[in-house]
């Protein structure tokens, strides 16, 4: 990939040294652990099939269109986080973006504004994306667009860690978002997003540098931008991860063109 002056300037601004991607992507291993259905909230089959199932129940998300899904998230009361949230944070970006970024959960500013990654971590994320000529804008060329979502749509009080039951309750929403976007690549940021999507307890350091899959979509693991703000040395590794993700998208584009 040839970098423009603008991209190089952006990288310098981020304190990131240039990375030459050389690592071939390994064949994607199937995620270890229970199948997706095992994480969905337990709903009796009869209740799930029932027309009376409220559209706001996360388990009913699988058939919803964008507008219905947004409404279901806004109305969700499936876990305790609905008690303390100011508003739900659905996600932002192009509905058919080629890239999908998945973070952990809204923080205070996101809870206030209703949009993911709007604080300092979000500014770093946007700078990293800009360096690859990507943006969260809802219009434009899908290949240059990102849809940003979180594993949790509601802020955990005091920014505490997401709890397993909260992640499980919210996952059908994220799963449906991925089905609707149909991204070419998922970038999973931070321990909670990575471990819940890949069903693993492995550390990010052991999972990065290769291509995983979620619902058949290639997934690359990287550090959370909030962590990168405190750990400058890992910024270079995060940049490597973005380059790997870009490589996967580029490779798939080339494969598509030759089919
Ligand atoms: N951290 C996240 O993981 N998501 C946000 O939306 C904001 C901060």
The pLDDT tens digits for 188-210 are 999 999 999 999 999 999 999 99
> Among 39-43, 102-106, 212-216, which stretch is predicted with the lowest mean pLDDT?
39-43
Specify if 124 maps to a domain: yes
Specify if 45 maps to a domain: no
Specify if 150 maps to a domain: yes
Specify if 226 maps to a domain: yes
Handedness of CA 104, 105, 109, 113 (dihedral sign): positive
Residue 185 is classified by DSSP as E
Q: How confident is the model at residue 59 (pLDDT cuts 50, 70, 90)?
A: confident
For residue 117 and ligand 1, the question of a CB distance below 6 A is answered with yes
CA of 117 to the centre of ligand 1 (A): 5
**What are 136-163's pLDDT values in tens digits?**
999 999 999 999 999 999 999 999 999 9
CA of 162 to the centre of ligand 1 (A): 12
Position 17 pLDDT exceeds 60: no
* Adjacent-strand bridge partners of 83: none
Position 93 pLDDT exceeds 50: yes
Residue nearest to atom 7 of ligand 1 (CA): 117
How does 217-250 read in b/e, with b if 16+ C-beta sit within 10 Å? bbbbbbbbbbbbeeeeebbbbbbbbbbbbbbbbe
The answer to pTM > 0.75 is: yes
> Among 57-71, 76-90, 128-142, which stretch is predicted with the lowest mean pLDDT?
57-71
For residue 101 and ligand 1, the question of a CB distance below 6 A is answered with no
The Cα–Cα gap between 178 and 200 comes to 20
Specify if 76 maps to a domain: yes
CA of 169 to the centre of ligand 1 (A): 18
For residue 104 and ligand 1, the question of a CB distance below 6 A is answered with yes
Kindly give, in sequence order, each residue whose CB lies less than 8 Å from that of residue 77, ignoring residues fewer than 6 positions away: 56
More confident residue, 70 or 54: 70
Looking at the structure of the chain, the number of domains it has is 1
Specify if 16 maps to a domain: no
Query: Nearest 10 degrees: CA dihedral of 241, 108, 78, 70?
Result: -70
Position 23 pLDDT exceeds 80: no
Residue nearest to atom 6 of ligand 1 (CA): 116
- Find the domain containing 215 and state its range: 58-258
Helices (H), 15-87: 45-49, 66-75, 81-84
Give the atom of ligand 1 at the shortest distance from the alpha carbon of 121.
8
Specify if 177 maps to a domain: yes
CA of 233 to the centre of ligand 1 (A): 21
Question: Which CATH number goes with the domain that contains 67?
Answer: 3.40.470.10
Specify if 48 maps to a domain: no
Give me the chain's average pLDDT, please: 85
CA of 248 to the centre of ligand 1 (A): 24
């Amino acid at each position: 990939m040839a970098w423009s002056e603008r991209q190089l300037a952006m990288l310098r601004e981020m304190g990131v040294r240039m990375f030459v991607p050389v690592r071939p992507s390994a064949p994607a291993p199937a995620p270890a652990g229970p199948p997706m259905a095992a994480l969905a909230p337990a709903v009796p089959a009869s209740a799930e099939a029932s027309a009376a199932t409220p559209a706001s129940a996360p388990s009913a998300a699988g058939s919803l269109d964008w507008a219905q899904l947004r409404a279901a998230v806004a109305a969700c009361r499936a876990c305790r986080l609905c008690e303390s949230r100011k508003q739900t944070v659905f996600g932002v970006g192009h509905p058919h973006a080629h890239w999908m970024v998945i973070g952990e959960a809204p923080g205070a500013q996101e809870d206030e504004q209703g949009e993911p990654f709007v604080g300092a971590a979000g500014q770093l994320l946007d700078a990293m994306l800009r360096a690859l000529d990507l943006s969260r804008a809802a219009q434009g060329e899908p290949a240059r667009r990102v849809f940003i979502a979180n594993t949790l749509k509601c802020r955990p009080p005091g920014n505490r860690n997401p709890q397993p039951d909260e992640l499980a309750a919210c996952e059908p929403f994220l799963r449906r978002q991925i089905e609707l976007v149909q991204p070419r690549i998922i970038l999973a940021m931070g321990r909670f997003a990575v471990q819940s999507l890949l069903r693993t307890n492995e550390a990010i350091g052991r999972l990065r540098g290769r291509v995983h899959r979620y619902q058949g979509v290639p997934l690359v693991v990287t550090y959370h931008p909030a962590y990168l703000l405190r750990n400058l040395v890992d910024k270079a590794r995060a940049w490597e991860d973005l380059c790997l993700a870009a490589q996967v998208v580029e490779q798939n584009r080339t494969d598509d063109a030759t089919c």
